[in-house]
Copies of this chain bind each other. A is one copy, B any other.
Amino acid sequence: MQGDAEQLLREHGLQVTAQRLAILRAVSSRPHGTADELIDDVRAVIGSISRQAVFGTLNVLVEKNLLRRIQPAGSPARYEDRVGDNHHHLICRSCGLTFDIDCIVGAAPCLVAEEDHGFEIDEAEVLFWGRCPSCKRTGETDTPVG
């Protein structure tokens, strides 16, 4: 995967650095991770990295469409490397556990608003909210996801 990641960065006109490769690998091995989780993962692999390098890199990768950012209510942003389709998400209100959900309707844009108010609509984001099996079981209280 290292080679692929390197290739990917070059193709998008980005310099190849150990930090970027590590971040890319961290996102792919922990889909829907938050920036802080990814920082920990990257540190475990390459020893050290600054918060800002991670935020900066995540931002350019999202901008270049190598990553997708999702920002569920009450949670810090999460990142995934599944881009290019418009799949959706199922999120636990208690613990923030997140799954990908394939679009129920079809290809993106999978939903169409009847009245578009003159907007140029580019995305229909669907978030399924609920409670994951383990939070159901423990009867955990409705603390904001983290």
Contacts and interface: CB of A to CB of B under 8 A. Distances in A.
Interface residues of A, number: 38
B123 A112 contact: no
A136 interface: yes
Nearest to A63: B142
- In the assembly, how many copies of this chain are there? 2
Interface string A9-43: 00000000000000000000000000000000000
Given A71-B73, A90-B117, A104-B113, A122 B130 contact: yes
A85 interface: no
A121 B129 CA distance: 6
Interface string A111-146: 111111111111111111111110010000000000
Contacts of A133: 117-119
Contacts of A55: none
A124 B91 CA distance: 10
Nearest to A117: B99
